Amino acid sequence: MTDTTTARSANLHRLANPGRFLRFADRIYPWCFGTMLLALTAGLVGALALSPADYQQGQSVRIMYVHVPAAWMALFVYLNLALASASLLIWRHPLAGVAAQASAPIGAAFTFLALATGSLWGKPMWGTWWVWDARLTSVLILFFLYLGYMALSNAFENEERGRRAGAVLALVGVVNLPIIKFSVDWWNTLHQPASVSRIGTPAIHSSMLWPLLVMALAFTLFYVVVLILRMRSELLAARLRALGRLAVEGR
Amino acid sequence: MTRKRRRMMVVGLGLLCLGAAAALALTAFEDNLLFFYSPSDLHSEAPPPGRMLRIGGIVEEGSLERDGEGSVAFRVTDFASTVPVTYRGILPDLFREGQGVVAQGRLTDAGLFQAEEVLARHDENYMPSEVADALERAGVWRPESGEGPPRGSGG
């Protein structure tokens, strides 16, 4: 740190945080990965073998153990995307932009999984693959928001500008989150209201609740693991690009 | 510092305006966002006969009649008012008395609802069959009543 020019030191300062993040991420990654494998194994065994069939849905209830955590993650990842976008816009934190861009495809995948498994459950239970009720439609809009963010944030030559444009879109989409959450309470929908988030006793038997919660833990850790991998590769790629530029300048 | 503060204000104000706009739009579209009308809605403000609409509620106990030729008749209730429904076609697996239902069709002049599509509506209760049987045997809860199991039985 002997440089005296302000431009160089500002650059180093920008690099310092991603470096610290990489060291921190490398340290927690094996723990996250191991716990995720354990939780996923326990959750799947609990969901597919140990938990009982439902008194009305029979074996179809097992779709719920994937559908509900996926839907939770769809909202949670979007919330993270929005928070990262806000801190990119307000504090111009470079890591936040990387985190937002790395989160979007994971969230889109969770949203797609929730929509697809919900559809598979809907056909035998409701009698239809799809209806345009408030819950299903607002989750479909969430899926399009993810896709729109991914397209917009990658559409610029200058990646910093792309991330900032995407961040504005991500923040606009935040209004959709409470709509998704409360759609089943505000309007008549075909989709049933929440079973677990109800304060006090959940409307779901404990023998079915624990595999659901373990699956939710596994899905959350899966998000952390993939986020670390994606952020690490993006940061290393950015470092490579910077080194390339330096080599060209130094010649 | 001041620039960060200003950016924070812009983002906060933007979100506030956006939220207000969304809330206004959603209240304006309120009726169109309803997936179905309850029987009480139909009685308080009857839509013009012949218009396609959806009604939802509970299939009233003891109201299901099959004529043996593929047609069924039942009443949909929300425990305040009821609407008689006729339907010809395949019913979903979850369809039964005491179970939630959403039917799409038209209301005739006589107040009869002719359904063209019937969907089952699942409630938010999940439990093993043994627990449901036990609750029913103890007389604490009858699934056919259309009400959820008593709170606290989930544990």
- Whether residue B93 sits in one domain with residue B111: yes
B122 assigned ligand-binding residue: yes
Q: State how far residue A230 is from chain B, nearest Cα, in angstroms.
A: 27
Taking only Cα atoms into account, the Rg of chain A, rounded to an integer number of angstroms, comes to 21
Residue % of chain B over a pLDDT of 70:
88
In the predicted model, is pLDDT for residue B48 greater than 80? no
Which of A90, A91, A119 should one mutate to test binding to chain B, selecting the residue with the greatest count of B CBs within 10 A?
A: A90
Between residues A35 and B100, which one has the greater pLDDT?
Answer: A35
Q: What is the pLDDT of residue A31?
A: 96
Cα gap A101→A108, rounded to integer Å: 12
- Whether residue B82 sits in one domain with residue B16: no
Cα gap A21→A236, rounded to integer Å: 12
B37 assigned ligand-binding residue: no
* Assigned domain for B50 exists: yes
Q: SS3 of B138, please? A: coil
Segments forming the whole domain that contains residue B22: 2-31
Please provide the DSSP assignment of A109-134 as one string: HHHHHHHHHHHHHHHHHTS-S----H
Nearest to B119 among A52, A127, A174 (CB): A127
Q: What is the pLDDT of residue B142?
A: 58
Whether the CB of A140 is below 8 Å from some CB of chain B: the reply is no
Total number of domains in chain B: 2
Q: What is the pLDDT of residue B67?
A: 82
Cα gap B138→B22, rounded to integer Å: 48
Residue % of chain B over a pLDDT of 90:
15
- Whether residue B23 sits in one domain with residue B97: no
* Assigned domain for B56 exists: yes
- Residue in chain A lying closest to B117 (CA): A127
In the predicted model, is pLDDT for residue B99 greater than 90? no
Nearest to A203 among B56, B99, B125 (CB): B125
* Assigned domain for B73 exists: yes
For residue B139 the two structure tokens come to 């007389």
What are the two backbone dihedrals, phi and then psi, of residue B71, each rounded to the nearest 5 degrees?
A: -100, 145
* Assigned domain for B115 exists: yes
- Whether residue B13 sits in one domain with residue B53: no
- Whether residue B26 sits in one domain with residue B97: no
- Nearest of A70, A67, A69 to residue B122 by alpha carbon: A67
Q: What is the pLDDT along chain A (251 residues), one digit of tens a residue?
A: 444 445 554 544 444 478 888 998 999 999 999 999 999 999 999 999 998 888 888 888 999 999 999 999 999 999 999 999 999 999 888 899 999 999 999 999 999 999 999 999 998 888 889 999 899 999 999 999 999 999 999 999 888 899 999 999 999 999 999 999 999 888 888 898 888 765 556 688 888 899 999 999 999 999 999 999 999 999 999 889 889 888 888 76
- Residue in chain B lying closest to A128 (CA): B119
What mean pLDDT do residues B96-111 have?
87
* Assigned domain for B43 exists: yes
* Assigned domain for B106 exists: yes
Q: How many CB pairs under 8 A join A and B?
A: 134
- Whether residue B50 sits in one domain with residue B20: no
- Whether residue B69 sits in one domain with residue B40: yes
Chain centre to alpha carbon of residue A129? 25
- Nearest of A51, A198, A191, A117 to residue B129 by alpha carbon: A51
Residues on chain A touching B131 (C-beta within 8 angstroms): 55, 205
For residue A66 the two structure tokens come to 């994937």
Between chains, do B11 and A61 touch, taking CB under 8 Å as contact?
no
Between chains, do B154 and A52 touch, taking CB under 8 Å as contact?
no
- Whether residue B68 sits in one domain with residue B26: no
Residues on chain B touching A127 (C-beta within 8 angstroms): 90-95, 117-120
* Assigned domain for B40 exists: yes
CATH number of the domain that B85 lies in?
Answer: 2.40.50.140
* Assigned domain for B132 exists: no
Q: Which amino acid is at B50?
A: G
- Whether residue B88 sits in one domain with residue B103: yes
Q: What is the pLDDT of residue A198?
A: 57
Between chains, do B15 and A206 touch, taking CB under 8 Å as contact?
no
- pLDDT tens readout for residues B133-142: 777 777 666 5
- Whether residue B50 sits in one domain with residue B108: yes
Alpha helices in B29-128, H assignment, sequence order? 30-33, 39-44
Q: What is the ipTM of this complex?
A: 0.79
Strand pairing of B52-59 and B71-77? antiparallel
Between chains, do A187 and B33 touch, taking CB under 8 Å as contact?
yes
- Whether residue B113 sits in one domain with residue B92: yes
- Whether residue B78 sits in one domain with residue B13: no
